Amino acid sequence: MPQDARRPRTGLLVPGILLITASVGLGIALEADTHLLELDARWARGIVATRGPVGDAIALAFDRVGGGVIGIVVVPLLIAAVLLARRHYRTLIVYLAASLASGLAVQVMKHLFARERPEHMIVISDFGSFPSGHTANAATAAALLVLFLPRAWAGVAAVAYVLLMAVCRTYVGAHWLTDTIGGVLVGAGVALLVVALADRLAPRPRENPGGERIAPPRNTP
């Protein structure tokens, strides 16, 4: 994921905070809004009715890629190795920080809302249904991919991955539909927030028209 050293991204701070706030607001609304609960129930009945060998295989694959040892250890290490090999050190630090912050935010919210998971799960899951950790991880990675690799194909791939992860989490019965929406909001929000803070705390070098890097301007009295 090559870094774009030309444009500061401190403007992502407010959108990041708003997305995280929206995720928390959704969690609060779920404790009182029966319409959202009915939506979750209808979606769960419909998605469970589509289960079959092919769907099971796809959903279980996403379950392993998005969490557990593969999702939490193997995938991040592979991404870190690629970034190190390409000497994208700043991107690596931002990626690790965003991943850790997203995981921490999800765990805090899980314990804050303590929502029960749906019935008829076909996977083993930890405590708390809201928000979806798998979907939050996917949204964090997808947002970073789009920010550091602003290409049309990257955007399409990022959106497709997040949507598939969200559907698969409801398919296996590990989450309600609104859990995945909350996961997308907090995962993407944390990614934007970390990138914005990184640019604010340690501005990236700019490039002149000839391609030569120049140091960011210093604040003078």
Reported confidence tier of residue 85, pLDDT bands at 50, 70, 90: confident
- Angstrom distance (rounded) from CA 120 to CA 83: 40
Tens of pLDDT, residue by residue over 201-210, are 876 655 444 4
Domain boundaries, the chain: 10-203
Residue 98, classified by CB atoms within 10 Å of its CB into exposed (0-12), middle (13-18) or buried (19+), is buried
Q: Tell me which DSSP letter residue 117 carries.
A: P
Question: What pLDDT does 37 receive?
Answer: 94
Reported confidence tier of residue 1, pLDDT bands at 50, 70, 90: very low
Handedness of CA 183, 185, 186, 192 (dihedral sign): positive
Segments in 12-73 forming alpha helices (H): 13-30, 34-48, 53-66, 68-69
CB 20 within 8 A of CB 189: yes
Tens of pLDDT, residue by residue over 112-139, are 999 999 988 999 888 899 999 999 999 9
- Percentage of the chain beyond pLDDT 90 is 62
